[in-house]
A and B are shown apart, each in its own frame.
Chain A
């Protein structure tokens, strides 16, 4: 009974992490940088939906769409103003910039909305549906369905659209792609827009299940990054697989450990994979994690 519940909770968490992990792995694949502020893009997305649905009183789906659009713009802005000037810098200078952006966004949101927890006012607490020994709410079903739909959309974007193909070419070999006339900066901007839009969608879904606060993006993003490592950096299927792996392990892990260690489980997996299997579960060749 409890065990089935933990598995379901793991799948819900994994769906949320996956929406962040896809953007992280795409951006890493192209630029070789760890986008530490990706979780804050998700957080800002959640607040945009809050403004639209609570402050303006429009339906939440409208807020969801506006958040996705705003997320894409924010992602492109972060790329333009924080990462682009640092393209040729030392490998971890970009990471410092991303951390600074993350702190900046957290505090700007806190300045406007305060540090206290907010919700979307989705009405009274839902009574979950009981089946097969676990309880799941309609919101949670919706989260899983929307997340899976967006994953299928991602597959379509990468495999079928011209931008997706160009993004793969740039990730594979930037100089070669440029010599074939692909504008790599444009491709990078599109990748940021697409990944950040997904992150914003993830932010809204996370806020629907729990609530909003300026720090809400930090932990999911680090876990999504752990998922990227587990799945193999640069690989989208790997990122999705890794997200469910992290979501399930941390939820099943608290079956054995005090629940306060839930976050630590993901960090532990991250370190273990970095040390012993840096290419991840699906990765074959070395992706430049090791020296």
Chain B
């Protein structure tokens, strides 16, 4: 029993670690606040589930989850080419809400608020990942792969170019960087991994509905990114571990379950306020030169 509970937490940590790493690529490295990240997570979840339930194999659903989300990432990068930081954030928020509205109303495809139950567990190379342990192995492999790929990209020229955009877009452009293309790639890669996380989430929980992909989901991932440190992959993973485990003791002190949810949100929100006031660079974050200490607009 206790093993199942711990494995459950570990699997959630893995899924959120993928999400927070994908968000820090955009928000931490490139300096673009995305308040619609849960939409990529949702698109991945629905794409994967709809394909697998139509009879396609899991690997195809998983890849399609990333692919479709990445296409929407390219779409969402269009406002980023024109808008200032906080207005871009509002545009991404509106995008997230439009996607949620479509999930709720396009009932022929998504069954709307009823959600999709009975999602099968993944099957790869003849192995069915139906036990907690095997599912944990699957998610940790994806986490490691995500880390390796993002680490490779972000430590290289690509990551340095993204940071240049964050610090000063005009200088990045004057140094010959194709800022538009880089922003589009950043959005696409970020959405790709969020889509993968969505697939893993849906096939783990085996039920999805639009209420799993609200703004508060985005805010939780954002908090992981800010806590871990904007622009740090290790920090994002640490953020996911801390924030998944932090509210767990609330379960054991005998509060009614409705209050646990609210207290959890109060802790998250309070922590976020204290953090950005007292330590905006988080646990592992680096100092932003052009950005986080001065108004770049």
Taking Cβ atoms with an 8 Å cutoff, the residues of A that contact B are 32-34, 81-82, 85-86, 88-97, 99-104, 106-108, 110-111, 114-115, 222, 225-226, 258, 260-261, 263-264, 267-268, 270-271, 274-275, 278, 288-291
Contacts and interface: CB of A to CB of B under 8 A. Distances in A.
A290 B82 CA distance: 6
The CB with the most chain B CB atoms within 10 A, among A97, A100, A101, is that of A100
Contacts of A81: 273
A91 B86 contact: yes
22 contacts: A89-B293, A89-B295, A90-B293, A90-B294, A91-B86, A96-B33, A96-B276, A97-B273, A97-B277, A100-B269, A107-B265, A225-B90, A258-B105, A264-B101, A267-B98, A270-B91, A274-B83, A288-B84, A289-B84, A290-B83, A291-B83, A291-B297
A95 B86 contact: yes
A290 B84 contact: yes
Interface stretch (B8-16, B128-136, B243-251, B255-263): B255-263
A290 B294 CA distance: 18
A140 to B, nearest CB: 26
B219 A94 contact: no
A115 B211 CA distance: 15
A278 B87 contact: yes
B97 A261 contact: no
A273 to B, nearest CB: 10
Contact of A93 (B93, B97, B292): B292
A260 B101 contact: yes
A274 B273 contact: no
B105 A261 contact: yes
Interface in B254-297: 258-259, 262-263, 265-266, 268-270, 272-273, 276-277, 280, 288, 291-297
B206 interface: no
Given A91-B295, A92-B33, A100-B272, A274 B90 contact: yes
Give the interface centre of B86, B216, B222, B258 by most chain A CB atoms within 10 Å.
B86
A288 B288 CA distance: 22
B269 A86 contact: no
Contact of B93 (A88, A114, A222, A288): A222
A226 B94 CA distance: 10
A89 B258 CA distance: 36
A256 B123 CA distance: 44
Contacts of B288: 90
Contacts of A95: 33, 86, 89
Contacts of B97: 222, 263-264, 267
A254 to B, nearest CB: 11
Contacts of B216: 103
B79 A97 contact: no
B238 interface: no
B85 A268 contact: no
Contacts of B35: 99
A82 B102 CA distance: 34
Nearest to B87: A289
Contact of B273 (A82, A106, A261, A291): A82
Contacts of A96: 33, 222, 226, 272, 276
Nearest to A262: B101
A209 B232 CA distance: 48
Given A92-B89, A95-B33, A261-B101, A108 B94 contact: no
Contacts of A33: 86
A94 B86 contact: yes
B95 interface: yes
B91 A91 contact: no
Interface string B72-116: 000000110011111101110111011001101100000000000
Contacts of B85: 90-92
Given A99-B219, A107-B262, A222-B93, 15 more contacts: A89-B276, A90-B293, A90-B295, A96-B33, A96-B276, A97-B277, A100-B273, A103-B219, A111-B259, A267-B94, A270-B91, A270-B94, A275-B79, A278-B82, A278-B83
Given A92-B86, A261-B101, A270-B91, A106 B265 contact: yes
Given A95-B86, A96-B276, A270-B90, A90 B266 contact: no
**Residue of B89, B226, B272, B273 with highest tally of chain A CB at under 10 A:** B273
Interface string B124-159: 000000000000000000000000000000000000
Contacts of B277: 82, 85-86, 97
Contact of A97 (B276, B293, B294): B276
